[in-house]
């Protein structure tokens, strides 16, 4: 068994094993709940990976399913313990929305992440100053303490994901409007554009910009991320995020396939990795020129 960095991913793997064991035993969920003296909802939540399962409950469940292979039992017990493990983001549970909390759990174990943004710089590419500005302006009640905590989480996500020995492959597609909107904010633009250039130079990061010249296209009002996992048993996850809500689409193969096609369509419309990097360098040069002119005119 390969140990995952995320308890949520371990719960997803365990649910598959437990459903398979129940089906092999020829038992319905209702029959299992009755014999275990559980509510049906408890078993359903375990089998969907929504909650973990204690070692004692798991051992009793495996006895009911007549799972006697000691190696398999040990592996499942280890998996259940890993699924209940506390993580660095656990202490932020009270502040983070449940969907965002789950996203971090998925993100930590993803091997490939594809993100498409039309309005803001993707979170994993943001400077702390940009993240603070966006977070504060994106909340209806921008409590400074909450904003600071959310930015702290975002910066920690970047550090732990990108600086680990085996970072995931990251593909980012952003609309040109994201960059142009950034250029208009003199307090944030230089550092953020320079960070985008530095990130584009990393071997595991690909940044591509869809220019205005692409016109109105299918992705013009879509923002989404697709997370893929190295284990073949782990289905891809599709994530949507808006100013007021976020949602997941899991185990929906057809829908995820449609968004993979949309992502590739946006890549074909983009300037490409090198063209996008050249564009960002041109923007950075323009910003520096404007700053020099401003200083000259202020003398």
Q: How many Å is the Cα radius of gyration of the chain?
A: 23
Rounded to two decimals, what is the model's pTM?
A: 0.81
State what percent of residues in the chain have pLDDT above 70: 90
CA distances in angstroms from 263 to 79, 253, 257, listed in the order given? 34, 15, 10
The DSSP annotation for 62-126 comes to HHHTT---HHHHHHHHHHHHHHT---GGGGGTTTS-HHHHHHHHHHHHEEEEEEEESSS--GGG-
| pLDDT per residue as tens digits for the range 9-27 | 778 788 889 999 999 999 9
For 108, phi then psi, to 5°, come to: -60, -30
Write down how long the chain is: 299
pLDDT above 60 for 3: no
| pLDDT per residue as tens digits for the range 29-86 | 999 999 999 999 999 988 877 778 999 999 999 999 999 999 999 999 988 888 788 8
């Amino acid at each position: 068994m390969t140990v995952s960095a995320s308890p949520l991913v371990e719960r997803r793997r365990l649910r598959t094993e437990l459903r398979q064991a129940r089906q092999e035993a020829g038992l319905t969920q209702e029959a299992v709940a009755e014999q275990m003296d559980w509510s049906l909802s408890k078993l359903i939540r375990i089998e969907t990976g929504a909650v973990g399962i204690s070692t004692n409950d798991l051992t009793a469940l495996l006895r009911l399913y007549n799972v006697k292979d000691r190696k398999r039992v040990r592996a499942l017990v280890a998996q259940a313990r890993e699924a209940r493990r506390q993580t660095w983001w656990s202490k932020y549970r009270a502040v983070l929305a449940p969907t965002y909390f789950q996203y971090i759990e998925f993100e930590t174990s993803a091997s490939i992440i594809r993100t498409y943004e039309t309005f803001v710089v993707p979170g994993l590419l943001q400077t702390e100053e940009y993240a603070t500005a966006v977070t504060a302006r994106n909340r209806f009640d921008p409590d400074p303490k909450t904003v600071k905590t959310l930015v702290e989480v975002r910066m920690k996500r970047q550090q732990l994901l990108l600086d680990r020995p085996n970072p995931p492959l990251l593909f980012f597609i952003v609309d040109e409007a994201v960059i142009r909107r950034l250029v208009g904010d003199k307090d944030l633009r230089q550092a953020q554009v320079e960070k985008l250039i530095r990130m584009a130079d990393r071997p595991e990061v690909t940044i591509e910009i869809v220019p205005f010249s692409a016109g109105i296209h299918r992705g013009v009002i879509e923002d989404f991320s697709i997370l893929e996992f190295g284990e073949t048993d782990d289905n891809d996850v599709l994530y949507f995020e808006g100013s007021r809500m976020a949602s997941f689409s899991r185990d929906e193969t057809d829908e995820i396939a449609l968004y993979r096609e949309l992502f590739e369509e946006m890549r074909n419309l983009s300037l490409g990795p090198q063209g996008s990097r050249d564009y960002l360098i041109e923007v950075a040069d323009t910003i520096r020129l404007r700053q020099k002119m401003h200083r000259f005119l202020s003398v």
